[in-house]
Structure 1
Amino acid sequence: MTALAKEPLVVIGAPTSAFRGTWRELRDVFRQREMLGMLVRRDLKARYKDSALGFVWTLVRPLTQLLIYYFVIGKVLGAANGIDNFAIYVFTGLTAYTLFSEIVAGSTGSIVGNSGLIKKVYVPREVFPLASVGAALVNFTIQFAILLAATVVIGVFPFHEGLIYLIPSLAVILVYGAAIGLVLSALNVYLRDVQFVIDVGLMVLLWASPIVYSYSRVVATVNTDWLITAYTNNPLTLSVLGMQNAIWLHDPADVTYPDHLMLRLGIAFVIGVLCLLGAQRVFSRLQGNFAQEL
């Protein structure tokens, strides 16, 4: 007790220099990596607890969406015209979008969802949104394996130079998803409407990305330069296009991609890392009253 009494008091969320505060909190999160892994496993087990099919449910929603988009939008409304292997095209985009949406949606509710633990013991609060990132990555791995299996069955396995776009595309999704998730998880503690706004926002983002329609159609239809620029440089749009370039086999002459797609992904990643660092500082400033608000 004497030794404990001599320890200096540390205020959670106390103002510090940006670099020192970020470095300290990253170090604290790294020290809690075992707990982070435990939270990821708990997240996954809780999601499918008492379920007979377990992780199979991870595929039900995207596969249902795929069937609806393929038959209704692709065949009935004609969106598949001019898009080879439309099912692979759509499923590739859905896989990228699902990773992003699960990170953001899961992170947003992560602090409130773990309120009991947060009020009882101190751990770096960042581990809870990061656990949602880990759980989303596990689900993504399953969906991506199914996607690759589908390409093998159809005979269009993507063994080509376009695979270099895969890692940058995933990296962009991860940094932006984590950055947005950190900020929203903190805001959701103070304003619970945030989680409902995010549900609507993610639905809009699904249709604002070239998943069930082609980027070529957007370029041909929209005549406003600034709107095309904003649409193209949306990080999720770039990531979806990068994933499609990596996984979806197509005739390059029939498909339009933004100029310098790899460079755009690289710039988006750098900006995303800066956003992630900024998001961590915002989270750090807001976390001081978490226990009281919860």
Structure 2
Amino acid sequence: MTSQAPEKVGVSSTSEVAKERMARLNEEALVSAGPTRGFFRGTWQSIRDLGEYRELLGLLVRRELKARYKDSALGFLWSLLRPIAILLVYYVAIGKFLGAERSIPSFAIYVFAGLTAWQLFTDVVAGGTGCIVGNAGLIKKVYLPREVFPLSVLGSGLFTFSTQFAILVLGVVVASEIPTGSRLLFVPLSLLVIVVYATALALVLSAVNVYLRDVQYLVEIGLTVLFWSTPVVYSWALVQNIVAGGWLQQLYLANPMAVAIMGMQRGMWVAGTDQPFPDGLGTRLLIMLGIGLVLVWLAQRLFARLEANFAQEL
């Protein structure tokens, strides 16, 4: 009695289906997974890519927020406690000991308005600098628009800013110094200036940091110098007394963060209505915003040029 080998049912049909699929794939045109070249065409394609990955961007923002306070008991409260602690230090050391509050009415509100704006800028620039290196594992595995990583840092920074700004609003309400009228326009305009310049720096620094890791340490030093170059804990009147007119004053006002922080203070600091501010502060903010938008565009194109070798460098 002879045994008969079992028939291999369906093997030939499966092989034919696989061959058909391979044939269709070979007929399709290859699609580049990298950034599109060209200033205008590349910019438009980058915007489209970011639109397609907007859900991923939202997930990265939430991941950024969760990772920042992972395993901490207070969680998001730390985003409030840190600036409040800094405010108390400046209020006691500079306001009380050095007597700054004698020349700056409602010194606490003045300082907190500046600190809130400055903290947003610091979070985006410092966090954005290391975001590509910090996501090296994901970048080496799959292709996606790498701009989502600096933008996710921006998203988490804006969330933190919103919580701190809510405390500032509560403070002005408790102090019965609620801003009204056209002065409120300075707040969103100043916020836009901060966002565009922080985004431009985050894009450039995150890309350069992949090739030169010393950048993150230079950023820490630069942010410290820039902080004391902006009127966060001292007034514009003091700057005027030291650099009265001339090119030094114009050089000081060329700092977009100095102009943006003064705009935030002009909008929220009711007690300082009679205090001096630079002439044409609103016009300066609009000019800074226009320049910043151009810088964001140039920063994105530089980022697109440098991202081609991210995976190899990481």
The normalised TM-score by structure 2 is 0.90
Give the Å deviation of 1:251: 4.6
Give the Å deviation of 1:161: 2.7
Contact 1:166 1:243 (8 Å CA) reproduced: yes
Q: Which residue of the other structure, out of 103, 109, 114, is the alignment partner of 2:124?
A: 103
C-alpha separation in 1, matches of 2:107 and 2:77:
23
Alignment of 1:260 onto 2:280: yes
1:8 corresponds in structure 2 to 30
C-alpha separation in 2, matches of 1:116 and 1:95:
33
Contact 1:233 1:264 (8 Å CA) reproduced: no
**AA at the equivalent of 1:236:** M
Alignment of 1:87 onto 2:111: no
Cα deviations by residue, 1:24-74 (Å, 9 ceiling, x for unpaired): 011101110000000000000011111110011001221111111101111
2:78 corresponds in structure 1 to 57
Give the Å deviation of 1:114: 0.5
2:291 corresponds in structure 1 to 271
Give the Å deviation of 1:2: 4.0
**AA at the equivalent of 2:55:** E
Q: Which residue of the other structure, out of 207, 210, 227, is the alignment partner of 2:228?
A: 207
Larger Rg: 2
Give the Å deviation of 1:3: 4.2
Q: 1:2-81 alignment to 2 at 5 Å?
A: 2-5=23-26, 6-10=28-32, 12-13=34-35, 16-81=37-102
SS of the residue 2:115 aligns to: helix
Contact 1:164 1:246 (8 Å CA) reproduced: yes
- Stretches of structure 2 that go unaligned for 5 or more consecutive residues are 1-21
C-alpha separation in 2, matches of 1:3 and 1:182:
39
- What number of residue pairs does the alignment pair up? 292
C-alpha separation in 1, matches of 2:85 and 2:131:
26
C-alpha separation in 1, matches of 2:272 and 2:89:
25
Alignment of 1:232 onto 2:253: yes
Q: 1:278-293 alignment to 2 at 5 Å?
A: 278-293=298-313
Cα deviations by residue, 1:198-256 (Å, 9 ceiling, x for unpaired): 11111111111101000111011124621210111311011101100111112533x11
Contact 1:11 1:288 (8 Å CA) reproduced: no
Alignment of 1:191 onto 2:212: yes
What do you get for the CA RMSD once the two structures are aligned?
1.3
C-alpha separation in 1, matches of 2:51 and 2:256:
27
SS of the residue 2:283 aligns to: helix
C-alpha separation in 1, matches of 2:31 and 2:50:
20
2:177 corresponds in structure 1 to 156
Q: Return closer, same or farther for 1:52/1:281 CA change in 2, 3 Å cut-off.
A: same
Cα deviations by residue, 1:73-98 (Å, 9 ceiling, x for unpaired): 11111222221100000000000000
Cα deviations by residue, 1:173-213 (Å, 9 ceiling, x for unpaired): 01000001000000000011111111111111111110100
C-alpha separation in 2, matches of 1:224 and 1:128:
42
Q: 1:163-174 alignment to 2 at 5 Å?
A: 163-174=184-195
C-alpha separation in 2, matches of 1:113 and 1:286:
17
Give the Å deviation of 1:160: 3.5
**AA at the equivalent of 2:40:** F
Contact 1:175 1:276 (8 Å CA) reproduced: yes
